[in-house]
Amino acid sequence: MKIDLKQLKQSCSERGLSLSSMLEAAGVSRNAFYSLARRESVLPGSILAIAEYLQIPPSEFLIDEGSPTQQDRALLKRIEEIALRNPQADRETIRHTLILLQEEPVERLRRALQRARNNDIQ
């Protein structure tokens, strides 16, 4: 994997930032960044060696746990685990409950109170 400098600059520009200001805010030195930007790959050699040996791209075995895709996969896996243990449970209800449990309790309560107020007015 290589840094696409043009794409990164465009992403900064879309957010009203210069590359320099973004690096400063992110706490990354210009020297460190440009050292990475000049490399053919920012991945460690061991990761590249494993991928080459298995003849697969590194992205096939690297995960970004914070990415929406990974979060969705983890949620689906958890839904399936619960559904297998509780075949009578509705998968949509399980999904909805797990999503609600990720929120802070005070936020769930605030939203429930708002819905109650809205229903009372109508």
Q: Could you read off the pLDDT of 88-114 as tens digits, one per residue?
A: 999 999 999 999 998 899 998 998 898
Q: Tell me, what's the pLDDT at 120? A: 65
- Per residue in 41-96, pLDDT tens? 888 888 888 889 999 888 888 877 677 777 888 889 999 999 999 999 999 999 99
Q: Tell me, what's the pLDDT at 119? A: 75
* Ramachandran quadrant class, 16 (left: phi over 0; alpha: psi -120 to 50; beta: rest): left
Q: Would you state the structure tokens that stand for residue 53, as one six-digit string?
A: 């040996």
Q: Tell me, what's the pLDDT at 94? A: 94
pTM of the full structure:
0.46
Cα 91 to Cα 118: distance, rounded to the nearest angstrom: 28
Work out the angle between the directed axes of helices 19-26 and 5-14 (0-180°, nearest 10).
90
Q: Tell me, what's the pLDDT at 122? A: 57
Q: Tell me, what's the pLDDT at 62? A: 82
Helical spans, DSSP H, in 15-104: 19-26, 30-38, 45-54, 68-85, 91-101
92 with 99: CB under 8 angstroms?
Answer: no
Supply φ then ψ for residue 34, to 5 degrees. Answer: -70, -25
